[in-house]
Structure 1
Amino acid sequence: GFLVLNEKAGLTSPLYSSRPYREFERQFYLARPYDTVSGRQQFYIDHEVFQRLGATLPTARESLAQAKYPLQLYSPHTRWGIHSTWRSNKYMLRQQRGVPTAWMNPEEARRRRITDGDRVRVYSDIGEFQAMAKIAPGVRPGTLMTDHAWEPQQFRGRKGLNAPIAGLLSPLELAGKWGHLQFGAVWDGNQLAHETTVDVEKVNA
């Protein structure tokens, strides 16, 4: 069974054995307002920074990717850990290849004469890292995937997944003093995710 250490430690409500973890009890059952200006779930934000950047409503933007690098880099969650927890655990490493991998579409790999298990170099103008090629038909053409949260020491030269990524911070993350947009202990600015393009080549040992 499960050991419950704190019945009041739920994210949006106390913990109940018969209810979901995120059930929003405060809003749905106790009728307490959200921390937004309106007290409701809302999409429109009339903060001056959002207005200046044309972002008062969620809006699609053109990609920032560099055209000269043909592969869009993605970093999905790992299946063999929770973020970096257990990423270097020997038992979890046995469930996979045990080293950082770069998942590639078969056609993209064929064009570059890369085969499954080859060591490859993933690079952009910003930087590079090396990983083992993993050929997978489920990877879309024009993309390359590397599971997130590999530890730096698991990469050659300690150059990891973030090396070819500029890591731009959206100015919207810095807007505050507006309803739920407040700085706090758990504040964490998001990167502009998946805006990096790279290329990949086989490393000749």
Structure 2
Amino acid sequence: MGRKSNGNPEKALNFLTPHQKWGIHSTYSDNLLMLTLSRGGPIVWMSETDAKDLGIEDNDWIEVFNSNGALTARAVVSQRVPAGMTMMYHAQERIVNLPGSEITQQRGGIHNSVTRITPKPTHMIGGYAQLAYGFNYYGTVGSNRDEFVVVRKMKNINWLDGEGNDQVQESVK
């Protein structure tokens, strides 16, 4: 299924983007106070069943991708998530604790990387407030951005630390 297979099993799952609980309006989720409330860095929740099928354990680095783009995040394996779906709270900042994607060779991405919007045609008519309208910039609320994605465990973790001397480590387990 993958554009660039890394040898690990892959599975297509529904991808939901609910409102996050670790951010407060304009307060970013990666400041010191907010990091005490979460694991820090981006996370994607998935079911124990799907994680077992993919050889993923809690806190493993995973890659989530589709034809829209790719993202990297830590896996949160939980009974709270039904089989067949993944969930990434929106607005997780990508400033700390984020390796590069094996597919894009760029730093990991966010929930918008794999989602898209369905624009309302009347929003593209001139004379309204949407003069700065652009695809995947302004659009409908996150609940309309649910997609299907392919999920796999990352094989090589590339931290993109510098020009030509990126540190790559093989994922263990």
TM-score normalised to the size of structure 2? 0.65
Where do 4+ consecutive residues of structure 1 move more than 3 Å? 172-177, 182-185
Q: 2:112 aligns with which of 129, 147, 162?
A: 162
Where in structure 2 are the equivalents of 1:179-194 lying within 5 Å?
183=129, 189-190=139-140, 193-194=144-145
Distance change in 2, residues 1:189/1:159 (3 Å): closer
Aligned partner (choices 73, 77, 97) of residue 39 of structure 2? 97
Shift of 1:83: 4.5
Question: Percent sequence identity over matched residues?
Answer: 29
Aligned residue in 2 for 1:143 = 85
Matches within 5 A, 1:40-55: none
* Pairwise CA RMSD: 2.7
Greater Rg by CA:
1
Match of 1:203 in 2: 154
Provide, for residues 1-58 of structure 1, a one-character-per-residue CA deviation record: whole Å limited to 9, x for no partner.
xxxxxxxxxxxxxxxxxxxxxxxxxxxxxxxxxxxxxxxxxxxxxxxxxxxxxxxxxx
2:58 maps to: 116
Alpha-carbon contact 1:77-1:83 (below 8 Å) kept: no
Cα deviation for residue 136 of structure 1 reads: 1.1
Larger strand proportion of the pair = 2
Q: In structure 1, the residue corresponding to 2:67 is in which secondary structure?
A: coil
The more displaced of 92-101 and 110-119 is 92-101
Unaligned runs of 5+ residues in structure 2 are: 1-10, 100-106, 156-170
The aligned length equals 132
Identify unmatched segments of 5+ residues in structure 1. 1-68
| TM value normalised by structure 1 | 0.56
CA apart distance, 1:144? 0.5
